[in-house]
Amino acid sequence: MFGLSISEFWMMEVWEFAAIERVWEMKHREELMLWRKSAYFAAAHFFDSKKPTPEIQSWHPFPWDEVEDKSEKWIPYDDRIAFYMKVKRKDWIPQEWFDRSENYKSEVSCMKSRD
């Protein structure tokens, strides 16, 4: 494990093992990044010349790479209701949003009691 013998492992302090683990992790990351770079250059011949060339990090991301999140952002129900109230389209708001809302639950119960 990490190039240590069993006797060396059992003689180590916790902080020594943590330091060796960090160094091993850094070495492992460097090897993976070199692999990614060589694979990228090998595959570059097959990239479509009509499209922009992808960057290495976006072509094959690793968990520690910071990749921009392109997924749709979640809008809370309160903000959705507030938007439709602002543009005076309260009739477009589904009842489900009111049920799941924190701020508008009391408003709906008051409206139901009036009817």
pLDDT of residue 102: 82
Q: 84 and 50 in one domain?
A: no
**38: helix, strand or coil:** helix
Residues 46 and 82 reside in one and the same domain: no
For residues 9, 15, 18, 22, the Cα torsion angle rounded to the nearest 10 degrees is: -120
Does residue 82 share a domain with residue 45? no
Other beta carbons within 10 angstroms of residue 25's beta carbon come to 12
Kindly state whether residues 16 and 43 are assigned to the same domain.
yes
What's the domain count of the chain? Answer: 2
Do 85 and 54 share a domain, yes or no? no
Residue 2, pLDDT score: 67
Q: Is residue 13 pLDDT above 70, yes or no?
A: yes
Residue range of the domain that includes 28 = 6-59
**Residues 46 and 83 placed together within one structural domain of the fold:** no
According to DSSP, residue 47 is labeled S
Residue 95 domain-assigned (yes or no): yes
Whole-number Å distance between alpha carbons of 79 and 81: 5
C-beta separation of 29 from 64 below 8 A? yes
Task: Tell me the mean pLDDT in the region 19-33.
Answer: 92
Residue 30 covered by a domain: yes
54 with 83, same domain: the answer is no
For the stretch 56-113, pLDDT in tens is: 888 888 888 876 666 667 788 888 888 888 888 888 888 888 888 888 776 655 455 5
